[in-house]
Amino acid sequence: MKKYFSVFLVFILTSITFSQVLDEQYFKENHEVYFKFNISERAELRALTNVISIDNIEENTVYAYANENEFREFEKLNYPYTVLTHPSKLIEPEMSSDIEGITAWDVYPTYDAYINMMYLFQLNYPNLCRIVDAGNTVQGRKILFAVISDNVTQRETEPQFMYTSSMHGDELTGYVLMLRLIDSLLATYGTDARITQLVNNAEIWINPLANPDGTYRSGNNTVSGATRYNYNNYDLNRNFPDPILGVNPNQQIETTRFRNIAETNNFVLVANFHGGTEVVNYPWDTWTNTPPDNRHHPDEAWYQYISHLYADTCQANSPSNYMNGYDDGITNGGDWYVISYGRQDYTNYYRWGREVTIEISDTKLIPAAQLPAHWYYNRKSLLNYMETVTKGVNGIVTDTLGNPVKAKITVINHDADNSEVFSDSIGYYLRMLSPGTYTFKFEAPNYYTQTISNVVVSSYNSLTVLNVQLVSSIIPVELISFTSYVDGVNVTLNWRTATEINNMGFEIERKSPSPTPSLKEGTFEFTDWKSVGFVNGNGTTTETKSYSFLDEGLSSGKYQYRLKQIDFDGSFDYSNIIDAEIISPIKLSLEQNFPNPFNPTTLIRYSVPNVISTEGRNLNVILKVFDVLGNEVATLVNEIKPAGNYNVEFNAKNLSSGVYFYQLKAGSLIQTKKMILLQ
């Protein structure tokens, strides 16, 4: 595959022609130009890659595309160039609009046949396949994904995988191979054990045609005249957010459509099919892993493994010259030639996924009759590559209640340049790694970071399951209910917790109505919060715990309660506030004193309603003690009291033994009872 400079130099220099005039009319008719030119040293590529779209380099010969503006900029650099026949005009491709005809897989489908075929997959395999319409292109064509999985309508705890082809509209081998792959997965599910296993354990997204406007540039019935660029003449593989340069100022609608899909899912592994050469290209594209950048993806060894897995399997299933160039079928992207705003780096850097670029035919538009052969070269590689997502370290990240947590998962002393991964909306994560022993760090906002060492990846084919529960750092004790129950003059508080961390216990705080409620307003003034009890917590637990507290003998009125949850370290948190209302006793009631007979003290319990004079004035409640002759011997109560239940202690140490009467009076209501003092 490698061609040597010295052999070709003379030929190239003598072959330069200026026979074609690249005027305005040329670009009106052709939209883009495919050309080649020579460079003296590779360093020149750094500037050139931001002017034109470099397609390939063979020693010192650069093959490139340009739209009119790009070409005018290129002309200013004064490189002699040769205009080449556009790759989509080298042959007349065999087309078919008949789905039956297409399924022999040796023709290119018309645009309508392609769309129909995609929806037919969904129709024929509704439990395995659903079509996702990512939206329209510049010209209103569709960017479709076939999603393939068991329970395809549900998001399961499975890795999301993606194949996408032909973002360069004239690189079309992958387009037909993707359609055939969809058909093959669906047709052999349930009979082929490997495919069944894969479809059961992954969610596979396949986008056969990422740039339909480019592919059908000459109309929906032919791929002849397809362009690399989209309808606005932009290279979509120079149009994604770049690790160095950020978002592309000319982001195209196709890029936006793709980003919407990428950014609402969590694709752990992606491959992006192209043509024009035969190689698996791994990150980075924007940095070289040799001088001047020396910037290696932290998972470079793993990338080289999966790239070789693809290329080697192709070599084993093809003629001896297929996918064996470069470094035995693989290359570092930047080392081949640096590009900016590429899709692969976007997925790696901005989506924390893993993506390689796979070039699957030296010829961009191969005769359709060669498509079946390319299917057989790639069939096993396609499957091997997808199966990569069933290996590595995976698991579910949840909180202590089992709810999914979106966590950042870092391999300590390993990750760099956004090579960390994230768990997705259902808590699932996958970290693919080379064999080794690693330390994983799980972190999420408002959770305690967890570090797990000795995570072993025993081989490239092993799967280590590591489920992690993260503990909330903001709600150490999670209260799930707090209620009050009133029984007569008693209030019972009940509450339950879902989880507890370091919970020493609960202080029960109460706000009572003030002693002089403003009854006319019908409202109460409250005193300040006052602690009325403490209930021990359960320390740390992930089980639901129930608690209860009884607040007894309350006067009538509306009370408020809250829980002050206190940690062992002294920090605390308040619950919400709940009300409990003790309804006023309706009747005046005077209970028998206790003990009786007594010496020298006894307790008298009584209840009073609201006692208000006819003028609306609060009246005193009066409790007095009399001897058998009717002489008053003590006044125990003589004051305004809100309706409620009360106790008063009577001390008779200065009185002589005998029978006494005690009388409760509130307005016109009177009750009298008898008691005996035995000195």
Active-site residues, by number, are: 359
d(CA 417, CA 305): 20
- Which CB sits closer to Zn ion, 343 or 354? 343
β-pair partners for 472? 447
* Smallest separation, CB 171 to Zn ion (Å): 5
d(CA 211, CA 255): 10
Contact stretch for Zn ion (CB under 5 A) within 22-30, 274-282, 318-326, 557-565: 274-282
Asked if 562 is part of the footprint of Zn ion (rule: CB under 5 A), the reply reads no
Contact stretch for Zn ion (CB under 5 A) within 30-38, 170-178, 313-321, 326-334: 170-178
Query: For 23, which DSSP code?
Result: -
* Smallest separation, CB 54 to Zn ion (Å): 10
- Which CB sits closer to Zn ion, 84 or 120? 84
Asked if 168 is part of the footprint of Zn ion (rule: CB under 5 A), the reply reads yes
Nearest to residue 314, comparing CAs of 376, 270, 361, 358?
376
Sign (positive or negative) of CA dihedral 143, 148, 154, 159 = negative
* Smallest separation, CB 319 to Zn ion (Å): 23
* Binding mask of the shown chain, residues 118 to 157, with x at each position contacting Zn ion by CB under 5 A: ----------------------------------------
Q: What's the gap between Cα 276 and its chain centre? A: 36
* Smallest separation, CB 324 to Zn ion (Å): 20
Contact stretch for Zn ion (CB under 5 A) within 161-169, 447-455, 476-484, 658-666: 161-169
- Which CB sits closer to Zn ion, 67 or 122? 67
Contact stretch for Zn ion (CB under 5 A) within 128-136, 164-172, 346-354, 536-544: 164-172
Contact stretch for Zn ion (CB under 5 A) within 100-108, 165-173, 335-343, 365-373: 165-173
* Smallest separation, CB 237 to Zn ion (Å): 6
Q: Are strands 267-274 and 330-332 parallel, antiparallel or unpaired?
A: unpaired
Asked whether 500 and 535 are in contact (CB, 8 A), the reply is: no
Compute φ and ψ for 389, nearest 5 degrees.
-75, 0
Asked whether 491 and 481 are in contact (CB, 8 A), the reply is: no
* Smallest separation, CB 336 to Zn ion (Å): 12
- Which CB sits closer to Zn ion, 274 or 354? 274
Asked whether 121 and 127 are in contact (CB, 8 A), the reply is: no
d(CA 285, CA 341): 9
Residue bearing tokens 């300590």: 412
β-pair partners for 640? 620
Asked whether 93 and 224 are in contact (CB, 8 A), the reply is: yes
Contact stretch for Zn ion (CB under 5 A) within 272-280, 321-329, 334-342, 392-400: 272-280
Asked if 343 is part of the footprint of Zn ion (rule: CB under 5 A), the reply reads no
Task: Give the list of residues 6+ apart from residue 10 with CB closer than 8 angstroms, or none.
Answer: none
Q: What's the gap between Cα 41 and its chain centre? A: 45
- In angstroms, the Cα distances linking 378 to 109, 181, 302, 318 are 20, 10, 20, 8
* Binding mask of the shown chain, residues 276 to 305, with x at each position contacting Zn ion by CB under 5 A: ------------------------------
Contact stretch for Zn ion (CB under 5 A) within 120-128, 163-171, 348-356, 504-512: 163-171
* Smallest separation, CB 439 to Zn ion (Å): 38
* Smallest separation, CB 192 to Zn ion (Å): 31
d(CA 6, CA 276): 23
Nearest to residue 341, comparing CAs of 229, 273, 258, 243?
243
| Footprint of Zn ion on 85-104 (CB under 5 A) | none
- Which CB sits closer to Zn ion, 36 or 274? 274
- Which CB sits closer to Zn ion, 357 or 423? 357
Q: How many other CB atoms are there within 10 angstroms of residue 588's CB atom?
A: 20
The residue nearest Zn ion at its CB is 274
* Smallest separation, CB 386 to Zn ion (Å): 21
Asked whether 322 and 311 are in contact (CB, 8 A), the reply is: no
* Binding mask of the shown chain, residues 420 to 459, with x at each position contacting Zn ion by CB under 5 A: ----------------------------------------
Asked whether 648 and 635 are in contact (CB, 8 A), the reply is: no
- Which CB sits closer to Zn ion, 171 or 551? 171
- Which CB sits closer to Zn ion, 164 or 266? 164
| Footprint of Zn ion on 466-485 (CB under 5 A) | none
Number of residues that bind Zn ion (CB under 5 A): 3
CA angle 158, 162, 164 (to 5 degrees): 170
- Which CB sits closer to Zn ion, 147 or 172? 172
Q: Strands, DSSP E only, in 552-600?
A: 557-567, 572-574, 578-582, 589-590
* Smallest separation, CB 139 to Zn ion (Å): 20
Asked if 274 is part of the footprint of Zn ion (rule: CB under 5 A), the reply reads yes
* Binding mask of the shown chain, residues 198 to 237, with x at each position contacting Zn ion by CB under 5 A: ----------------------------------------
- Which CB sits closer to Zn ion, 31 or 274? 274
Asked whether 132 and 205 are in contact (CB, 8 A), the reply is: yes
d(CA 206, CA 165): 8
The residues binding Zn ion (CB under 5 A) are 168, 171, 274
